[in-house]
Amino acid sequence: MYISLTQLAARPGAQELAQVATPAQSRVVNTDLMLATLNGADRSAWPADEIAVADAALARINDAIADAVAMIDGFLGRRGYLPLNPVPGIVTTWCRAITRYFLHQDRLKADDKDTITRDYKDAQRLLQLTAEGKFSLGGDDAVVTTGAGEPEFTQGSTTFRDALKDY
């Protein structure tokens, strides 16, 4: 898993997740209950029917995460990056953006000025560049090379430096 529920609880936050993940026929999950559900905290203070709705929202969030992970794996698998251990921070960022986009699919505003859509498209673009070997995951990424190597000098050949001694 590239992102935890706790990381999602921190950003974008329990309130946003409750609003987009609560089943359509139910009242939006209370933010504190959603936070407790995401963090695996005690939920005994809430009625069983509200906990059931929070669990349904959690299932939707977990489905969106699984879909985001599958998309990321599809791109990274082409370069032989899998399994990722440890998970680079950029992959967590991509997973957050993709998960949010999947959870917000039913919203009306989805143009390029929308931050959720923009972040999703940025993640897709960088994943594509990574799959093509044009973007590095950082660290000791040996798959991506950034240059043609060291310059080579051959004894006796004419180079710019050799031509300068005539001046």
Instruction: For 95-109, give the DSSP string.
Output: HHHHHHHHHTTT-S-
At residue 157, the pLDDT reads 55
Q: Which domain holds residue 118?
A: 5-164
Q: Count of domains in the chain?
A: 1
pLDDT, tens only, 81-96: 899 989 999 999 999 9
Tell whether pTM > 0.85: no
Residues, the chain: 167
Cα end-to-end distance, the chain, whole Å: 64
